[in-house]
A and B are shown apart, each in its own frame.
Chain A
Amino acid sequence: MTTTTSLASVDVDVRRPELGYGDLDALMSLMTGDEKHGPSATSTLDVLWVLYDRVLNVTPDTVDDPGRDRFQLSKGHGPMAYYAVLAVKGFIPVDWLATFGRYDSPLGHHPDRVLVPGVEISSGSLGHGLPLGVGTALGLRAQGLGSRVVVLVGDAEYDEGSNAEAVAYAGAIGLDNLTVVVVDNSSSTHGWSDGIERRFAVEGWEAVRVDGRDHAEVTLALRGHPEGRPSVVVAHVENKEG
């Protein structure tokens, strides 16, 4: 019986009853093969952890529940942190991680909702998640379901014009079951003068900027969302990957 998965001298003991935030580094190393790859090197990791640990109303048992909260990872590039969080929270087996990117692995370098339990959207082509999130929020609202939709986008991903279509429309109709998290590591080639949050605020969104590494700040920003209008949380992180 195999209870330990090893790769690149990283050991994750899957017998432990509860994996946690402290295990994410080792779990990600199963995919990258890089044991020095600390959590801070992945811009989305802390936001993802806070979402699944403290914010979203969804568990491995409710991935098909119509009333679950929906998290849609629009920025599908570099999904190792996402897979690691899903593994810690029990959505996927830990031993899937070491298969990352292989021909018959469910875990690609962009996530596929058909292959991975708990993954709400397949992503990879930028600029699709936010418009999909608008439709999802509309569908939940039309059916009287009180759950919310949280979409994670990157600041460079926001270059795609499809985001602007979604932001203007969601603001205009006050789509308040929709929250966007922008992980802002200043990677957009031409940048966003006066902050990316202004693009949302002028369309009527509630906008707040937080330290994307500060779990308490991120939690507070994501737990509260206003009535009558959508909200955006810009999670600022330093880009340590250069």
Chain B
Amino acid sequence: MSIGMREQFAVTVTDILEDDLSTALVLADVSARFFPEATRRHPDRVINVGIREQLLVSAGAGLAFTGMRPIVHTFGAFLVERAFEQIKLDFDHQDVGGVLIGSGGSYDWPAGGRTHMSPGDVALIDTLRGWTVHVPGHAAEADVLIRDAVAGSGRVYVRLAGDDNAAARRVGSGRTGRFDVVRRGARASVVAVGPMLDPVLKATAGLDVTVLYAATVRPFDRSTLRETLAEPDVVLVEPYLAGTSTREVADALQDLPHRTLALGVGTPDLRRYGEPHEHSHAHGLDAAGLRESIGAFLDVPSRAA
């Protein structure tokens, strides 16, 4: 039984803080309970500003001004959406590096309602340029990608979610940013992002398609998409706002007549509560929904028919 991504984040970052004196963790109450030991050992480098997200992001950037590597964390909704101008100006425009780690996925806690959902986070980060965006699909991948992000000097957003794939894929070790070729087929290429891999594999069982796994979506690995492309049909399956990476596919295949099916979170505010799997179903992101959409795109009858 693997631990969840957020617990893994705590273990990984605690370890990083111990080893690398140039790192600092900035929190806004969320997840602070995971860091009692690190807070005791490194009181100057584990910084909890309280429920103040503008300060959270700006203080992270201020730490970077002094040569430190900030790790800034809260729920994605409050990290990226509430304090977006702070990300845009205090990291991007000031031209300093940092690692932003958002948790909560698109709807990890749907009973909390729209306020705690952030399907638009990656699209919003994508209005900036030059960011690296990791969407790990397993706790073990989160460990590797967070370490990779902190070891660098750029601007990185790591998106953690509650759901994960049964097994970790190989990421990092020089492979960071490359799509993983899960299987090859003669028809469409299906790009499964992070936690979408297991439902995609289930949905495409028996279909003659290529499945690419993306734990990193920015930069978008256009070359692997091109190199493995059989038919110029691409299905994007993203666990956040549908169509977030359509632009990338269009650019990768700009010289080629092609079709794209972009699956992801549709209507951001369903005004429904319940459990995550109910929302995956509502957005057509469970295996059955994906099978139906992909089957229709490929003109393949659904298994039930």
Residues of A at under 8 Å CB distance from B?
66, 70, 113-114, 120-122, 125, 127-128, 131-143, 145, 161-162, 165-166, 168-169, 172
Contact = CB atoms under 8 A, between A and B. Distances in A.
Interface string B47-66: 10110101100111111111
Nearest to A130: B58
Interface stretch (B89-97, B132-140, B183-191, B278-286): B89-97
B49 A145 contact: no
A139 to B, nearest CB: 3
Given A113-B94, A142-B45, A66 B55 contact: no
Interface of B: 24, 26, 44-45, 47, 49-50, 52, 54-55, 58-68, 70, 85-86, 89-90, 93-95
B44 A166 contact: no
A165 B49 contact: yes
Contacts of A122: 89, 93-94
A169 B65 contact: no
A127 B59 CA distance: 13
Contacts of B65: 70, 120-121, 132, 135-136, 139
23 contacts: A66-B66, A66-B67, A120-B65, A122-B93, A125-B85, A132-B59, A132-B61, A132-B62, A132-B90, A134-B59, A135-B26, A135-B61, A138-B62, A138-B63, A139-B63, A139-B65, A141-B44, A143-B67, A165-B52, A165-B54, A168-B50, A169-B50, A169-B55
B114 to A, nearest CB: 22
A165 B60 CA distance: 14
Given A125-B89, A140-B66, A135 B60 contact: yes
Which of A136, A138, A140 has most chain B Cβ within 10 Å?
Answer: A138
Contacts, number: 97
Interchain residue pairs A-B with the least CB separation, the first 9: A135-B62, A139-B66, A131-B58, A135-B59, A142-B44, A165-B52, A136-B62, A165-B55, A139-B63
Given A114-B95, A135-B64, A169-B50, 9 more contacts: A125-B85, A125-B89, A131-B55, A132-B90, A135-B58, A136-B62, A139-B62, A141-B44, A162-B55
Nearest to A161: B54
Nearest to B22: A143
Contacts of A121: 65, 94
B89 A131 contact: no
Which of B49, B66, B67, B95 has most chain A Cβ within 10 Å?
Answer: B66
For chain A, what secondary structure do more than half of its interface residues adopt (helix, strand, loop), or is it mixed? Answer: helix
A179 to B, nearest CB: 15
A144 to B, nearest CB: 9
A134 B55 contact: yes
Nearest to A120: B65
A132 B87 CA distance: 12
A161 B54 CA distance: 9
B86 A166 contact: no
Nearest to A140: B66
Nearest to A169: B49
A198 to B, nearest CB: 20
A138 B47 contact: yes
A74 B165 CA distance: 46
A141 B45 CA distance: 9
A166 to B, nearest CB: 5
A133 to B, nearest CB: 6
A172 B51 CA distance: 13
A42 B223 CA distance: 55
A114 B89 CA distance: 13
B40 to A, nearest CB: 15
Nearest to B53: A165
Contacts of B62: 131-139
A71 B64 CA distance: 16
A143 B68 contact: yes
B54 A162 contact: yes
A139 B68 contact: yes
Contacts of B64: 135, 139
Contacts of B86: 128, 131, 162
A143 B66 contact: yes
A114 B65 CA distance: 12
B52 A139 contact: no
